[in-house]
Amino acid sequence: MKDLAGKTAFVTGGASGIGLALARVLIEEGMNVVIADRNMAHLEEASLLLTRDGGKHLALPLDVTDREAWSAAADAVQSHFGHVHLLCNNAGIGTATPIDRAGYDAWDAVLAVNLGGVINGIVTMLPRLREHGEGGHIVNIASMAAILPLGASGGIYTASKFAVRGLSDSLRFALIPDRIGVSCVFPGLTRTRILEERKAKMAAEGTTDAATAGFIAAQNSAMDPLDLARVTVEAVRTNHPYVIAHHEFADEIEREHARMMAAISYDIPADPQRVTFEEERCGQLHRLEEQAEAW
């Protein structure tokens, strides 16, 4: 999607944080932007800001776990702006419940939004992107926790974001014949409202936990979401599969990669037919990548 002007973007969690930053940058690029969010107060604030920015936008209430609401939102966008070309699955939540002590409720709550919301967006919007045949792009916001796992308190969040990463990688290959790109974004600390509900609950209960308190304090040095949004929009233009704007993780990523390479056992014989099968599979994916590079 080298030419963004005049096309339409749909951004979930678009009323604050990374979602709102994406909306603002996309409006700068001349796109029509739909911001969808379940928080009505945030939607009203964001809509006023985008109006001041002078761009064409539509604010829609949306709980990304509600599949019927997704369908209604897609119809509303079609009526208002026409075809959607860019889907940004950004909505996400966190939890401080330790992975080794979590019950079903904690798992269900996080996975329903962080993974289920992405799936709902794809299942709803992808047929529409394919139908108009004009190409397009899907951006899935994962997390650095999709590359480098968090500890116990972030374990459920890590699981959800690793899933988004895997989904994005496979979807990217699947959509190359349709000229629809896919980018996965791996933010580190970025100024968002992801802990807002947790903070309100802690205040109401008069409780605290070290993990949440640490992340709240770290927000003082978090990245400006506009910086992350600009890098992400460039990845849309260039059809790049990954966005990693937080270079402070480079050494840690390299060490993680080295540990994985060191785990490979070369002393176990490999059946030549199995090797041939995997070489053919790898070749098929490589040919798809070459096709995408030729766009």
Kindly give the confidence (pLDDT) of every residue in the chain, 295 residues in length, as a single tens digit, with 9 standing for 90 and above: 899 999 999 999 999 999 999 999 999 999 999 999 999 999 999 999 999 988 899 999 999 999 999 999 999 999 999 999 999 999 999 998 999 999 999 999 999 999 999 999 999 999 999 999 999 999 999 999 999 999 999 999 999 999 999 999 999 999 999 999 999 999 999 998 766 666 556 667 676 766 666 767 777 789 999 999 999 999 999 999 999 999 999 999 999 999 999 999 999 999 999 999 999 999 999 999 999 998 8
Instruction: Kindly list the strands in the beta sheet with 8-12, ordered across the sheet, starting from the edge strand earlier in the chain.
Output: 57-61, 32-37, 8-12, 86-89, 136-141, 180-185, 242-243
3-state secondary structure string across 6-64: CCEEEEECCCCHHHHHHHHHHHHCCCEEEEEECCHHHHHHHHHHHHHHCCCEEEEECCC
Chain centre distance of CA 100: 26
pLDDT tens digits, one per residue of 112-146? 999 999 999 999 999 999 999 999 999 999 999 99
Residue 195, pLDDT score:
62
Per domain, the residue ranges of the chain are 8-251
Catalytic residues: 157, 161
Question: Is the pTM higher than 0.85?
Answer: yes
For 88, the 3-state DSSP assignment is strand
Q: Does domain 8-251 have CATH number 3.40.30.10?
A: no
For 196, the 3-state DSSP assignment is helix
